[in-house]
C-alpha cells in the first residue's frame, strides 16, 4: 500500500472517501517493477490516445510568446455549458510537450469526465519561434502566472485546477508556494516532482543513472534550444552550452545565467519546491515513488508536508519516474492515471466537502 501523508484529518478522510486509489495496494507490473526499468519502458509501452488540439499563442509582457494546446471537449455531455465546464491546466516535464503520452492519458481521463484541458508548453519547446532570448526554468513562475491569468480570464466561472508532471510539478509547486491562497486554482495534483534539485542532480550523476538518463536528458535540452540558436547567441556562448554532458553543466552554462542567478547553487536552491511547501494555500496531492532516481526517496519532504494542512503526499515503494505501470501488459492505464482521474473528479465534484468532513 502507498504511504498517505496528510496532517489534516479532514483532507485525509476526503481522500479515503472520494479518491480511494491512494489507499489501495499498488501492484507494479511484475516483469518491470524496478524504478529505472519502469522509467525507461513507460514511454514505449503505454498507448498514445488520439487528441485533437486547438493551438493558441499568447504574448508575454517581455515580448515573448507561449504556446497553449486546448482540448475544449465541446461534446461534453456532463458540462455542455462551456462557461462552467471544469478546466484542467496540464504542465509537462522538462522537455515535454502536449504530445507526451502521460499528457494524452490525462486528457483522455478528463474527456470521459466531461472536463476541458489546456496544456502549457514551455517557451520554444512546441514548434513555435522564440521571439526573445529566453526559454524557461523550474524556479521562474512568470509564464505560468500569465497562463493561469489568461485561462481564468477566458472562463472566470469555470472550476479550475492544475496538474504538473516532473519539472511541470516543480514549477507548479513553486508557483503555489509563492501565491499561497491568492490563485484562481482550487486545487492541484503533482506527479514525480523533484523536491530537492541538489539531491536530484546528485542521484542522476551516479554512473549508471548518468548513462541511462542524465546524458540523454542533457542532449534533449540541447536539442530543444538548438533550433533557436540564432536568437540565443545574442546572450550565450552556445558552443559552450552544447558541450555540456550533464544537466548540471547545462544549467550552469545556460539556465542559471539566463535567469540571473549568481551561481548554479543559487538557482538550484530557488528551484527546489521543498523550500516553498509550507506556503501552499490550496489542496495539493503529490504522488512520488521512493525508487525514483530523479527524486530520491530520502529527499521527499515528509516532515514539511506534515506541517501544512493543505498538502497530502502519496508515496509508493515502486513506480520510478512517471512510471507507475501496473498489470501484466500496462498499455492503457497506469496507477498515476487513476490517481489523477479520481483526484480531479473528487475536487471538482466534492471539493467543498473537505471543509465539512
**Is position 108 annotated as part of the catalytic site?**
no
DSSP letter string, 24-59: SPP-B-GGG-SHHHHHHHHHHHS-------EEEEEE
Which of 91, 97, 123 minimizes the C-alpha distance to 227? Answer: 123
**Is position 321 annotated as part of the catalytic site?**
yes
Q: Which of 110, 292, 295, 337 is catalytic?
A: 292
**Is position 166 annotated as part of the catalytic site?**
yes
Q: Which of 67, 98, 166, 192 is catalytic?
A: 166
What whole-number distance in Å separates Cα of residue 259 and Cα of residue 196? 19
What whole-number distance in Å separates Cα of residue 305 and Cα of residue 1? 19
Long-range contact set of residues 6-11: C-beta below 8 Å, sequence gap at least 24: 6/305, 6/311, 6/312, 6/313, 7/305, 7/306, 7/307, 7/308, 7/309, 7/311, 8/309, 8/310, 8/312, 10/354, 10/355, 10/356, 10/357, 11/283, 11/309, 11/310, 11/312, 11/354
Active site residues: 166, 292, 321
Amino acid at each position: 500500500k502507498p504511504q498517505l501523508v496528510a496532517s489534516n484529518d479532514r483532507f485525509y478522510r476526503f481522500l479515503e472517501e472520494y479518491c480511494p486509489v491512494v489507499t489501495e495496494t499498488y501492484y507494479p507490473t511484475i516483469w518491470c517493477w524496478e524504478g529505472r526499468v519502469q522509467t525507461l519502458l513507460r514511454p514505449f509501452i503505454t498507448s498514445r490516445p488520439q487528441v485533437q488540439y486547438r493551438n493558441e499563442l499568447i504574448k508575454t509582457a517581455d515580448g515573448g510568446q507561449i504556446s497553449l494546446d486546448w482540448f475544449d471537449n465541446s461534446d461534453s455531455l456532463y458540462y455542455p455549458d462551456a462557461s462552467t465546464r471544469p478546466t484542467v491546466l496540464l504542465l509537462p516535464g522538462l522537455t515535454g510537450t502536449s504530445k507526451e503520452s502521460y499528457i494524452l492519458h490525462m486528457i483522455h481521463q478528463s474527456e470521459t469526465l466531461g472536463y476541458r484541458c489546456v496544456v502549457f508548453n514551455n517557451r520554444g519547446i512546441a514548434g513555435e519561434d522564440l521571439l526573445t532570448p529566453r526559454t524557461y526554468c523550474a524556479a521562474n513562475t512568470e509564464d505560468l502566472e500569465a497562463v493561469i491569468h489568461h485561462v481564468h480570464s477566458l472562463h472566470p466561472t469555470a472550476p479550475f485546477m492544475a496538474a504538473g508532471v516532473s519539472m511541470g510539478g516543480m514549477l507548479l509547486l513553486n508557483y503555489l508556494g509563492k501565491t499561497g491562497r491568492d490563485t484562481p486554482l482550487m486545487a492541484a495534483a503533482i506527479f514525480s516532482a523533484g523536491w530537492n534539485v541538489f539531491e536530484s542532480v546528485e542521484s542522476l550523476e551516479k554512473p549508471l543513472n548518468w548513462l541511462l538518463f542524465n546524458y540523454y536528458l542533457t542532449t534533449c535540452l540541447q536539442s530543444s534550444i538548438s533550433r533557436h540558436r540564432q536568437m540565443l547567441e545574442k546572450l550565450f556562448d552556445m558552443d559552450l552550452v552544447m558541450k555540456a554532458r550533464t544537466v548540471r553543466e547545462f544549467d550552469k552554462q545556460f539556465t542559471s545565467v539566463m535567469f540571473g542567478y549568481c551561481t548554479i547553487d543559487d538557482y538550484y536552491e530557488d528551484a527546489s519546491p521543498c523550500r516553498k511547501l509550507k506556503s501552499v494555500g490550496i489542496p495539493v496531492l503529490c504522488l512520488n515513488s521512493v525508487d525514483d532516481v530523479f527524486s530520491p526517496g530520502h529527499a521527499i519532504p515528509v516532515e514539511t508536508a506534515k506541517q501544512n494542512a493543505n498538502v497530502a503526499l502519496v508515496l509508493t515503494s515502486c513506480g520510478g519516474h512517471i512510471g507507475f505501470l501496473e498489470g501484466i501488459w500496462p498499455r492503457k492505464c497506469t496507477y498515476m492515471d487513476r490517481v489523477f482521474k479520481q483526484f480531479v473528479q473528487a475536487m471538482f465534484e466534492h471539493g467543498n466537502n473537505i471543509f465539512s468532513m
